[in-house]
Amino acid sequence: MKTRHVIVLTAVLAISTTGSWVAARHAQTPGQAAAKSKPPIASWVTAPVERRVMSQTIIARGTLRPDAMIEVGAPSSVTGSPVITKLGLRPGDQVLEGQVLVEVSARPIFVLVGEVPAFRSMSAGTQGVDVQQLQLALRRLGCAINTDGLFEARTSECVKNMFERAGYSVEPEFEGDVSVAFGEVIFVPRNTVRVLSSPTTVGPLGAASTASADESASFSSSVARLAVGRLSVRVELNPELQSVLSTGLPVELFDETSGASYAGVLKSIADVPTTGLEGQAVLVGVMSASPRSRLPFNAIDRNLRVTITTASTAAPVLAVPLSAIASDATGKAFVAVVAPGALVTDHPRSARVTPGLSADGYVAITAIPPDRIEEGDRVVVGR
């Protein structure tokens, strides 16, 4: 029994001693409490002088489009509801002169080069620019022919040969003369022409699915769509930016769908503001990719982010936050440079500077001798 009392008494003494030590540790004198309640010693709020490339940019959005698009319909020789009877060129294919784009109700659609679109049927005695374009194309395809714009016997013979080489007969008109039905020959400009959309299955035109360049299916009353020329992005810009815009400025085109970016240039700017889609005044700018950064054909109709660099330093320069720039009574700019650990009671060193390009909250600076500024120096931005 005595042993148990000794153990309990020892435990009580140990707990009592520990509690006294803890209480003593957390206790503080009035002087200590007052010292802890004082605000911290004020110091300068600073930022480092950095070396960076400075660029002023404008962010906009635009949709990727070719120079022109051509809707191709069924030829006039087709009677009844058009039916796709034979598939031809696929989306993304480049169109070459003399090729058959697609077959509709057993009739071909030939693609020839010409600046004026086809607008009528042509047969013996027809005369005009469309006939001349047809004759020039037939000559390029190897048939010796006059190009005077008159549809005569030799033109009929060359047309017949073109159709027969492709496996078709020409449509006979009255008295057996050769006739080129409207729509069996289409003219496209002398530029790069690619298929933007075309049928993927044979069958009635309204029911057959049509593949487009971005591989999405659609339904259309047209037989196919062609993209003419280079791809570019048309952007609507605030007219207030006109003073900082000029053709040739570098542009980055970014496609969020694929995550790809393409280098480009500002190709053209509207001379005067026009009315935008939402009724506001806008400047229209056209951005095109540089030759080394060709835009993908399957990105047509996508909305891209456009970043226009209006000004940029050629190399990294010294830069500080805009809030670091101050001016004296004469209007000259300076920055206040402080030593490491300096207090507000210490006087920072004043260094005169010439501000330069500003962007993203920073401004480029050049020290005016004999004052000096170096990378890593800390400048006052507040207190």
- Residue 218 makes CB contacts below 8 A (sequence gap 6+) with 197, 209, 210, 212
Domain ranges of the chain: 45-53+315-382, 56-64+231-312, 74-222
CATH number listed for the domain at residues 45-53+315-382: 2.40.420.20
Show the tokens assigned to 312: 């940029």
Mean pLDDT of the region 196-219: 67
**Alpha carbon distance 135, 151 (integer Å):** 8
What single string gives the DSSP state of each residue in 338-377? E-TT-BTTSPPEEEEEEEEEEETTEEEEEE-TT----TT-
Which residue in 241, 245, 199, 238 sits closest to 219, CA to CA? 199
For residue 233, list its beta bridge partners: 64, 287
The pLDDT value recorded for residue 30 is 59
Answer yes or no: is pLDDT of 201 > 90. Answer: yes
For 56-64+231-312, the fitting CATH number among 3.90.550.10, 1.10.540.10, 3.40.630.10, 2.40.30.170 is 2.40.30.170
Show the tokens assigned to 186: 């289409």
DSSP 207: T
* Alpha-carbon 372 to chain mean position: 42
**Alpha carbon distance 129, 116 (integer Å):** 8
- Span 302-311, pLDDT tens digits: 999 999 999 9
Mean pLDDT of the region 119-137: 97
Which residue in 322, 328, 331, 329 sits closest to 365, CA to CA? 322
Average pLDDT, the chain: 85
Answer yes or no: is pLDDT of 212 > 70. Answer: no
Answer yes or no: is pLDDT of 73 > 90. Answer: yes
Which residue in 176, 81, 178, 197 sits closest to 138, CA to CA? 178
Name the residue with higher pLDDT: 223 or 219: 223
Show the tokens assigned to 96: 């070459």
Name the residue with higher pLDDT: 40 or 99: 99
The pLDDT value recorded for residue 346 is 80
Query: Residue 340: which pLDDT band, with cuts at 50, 70 and 90?
Result: confident
Query: Residue 280: which pLDDT band, with cuts at 50, 70 and 90?
Result: confident
Show the tokens assigned to 54: 């400075």
The pLDDT value recorded for residue 230 is 86
Show the tokens assigned to 28: 């503080």
Yes or no: say if 97 and 123 are a contact pair by the CB < 8 Å rule. no
The model's pTM is: 0.65
Show the tokens assigned to 1: 């029994």
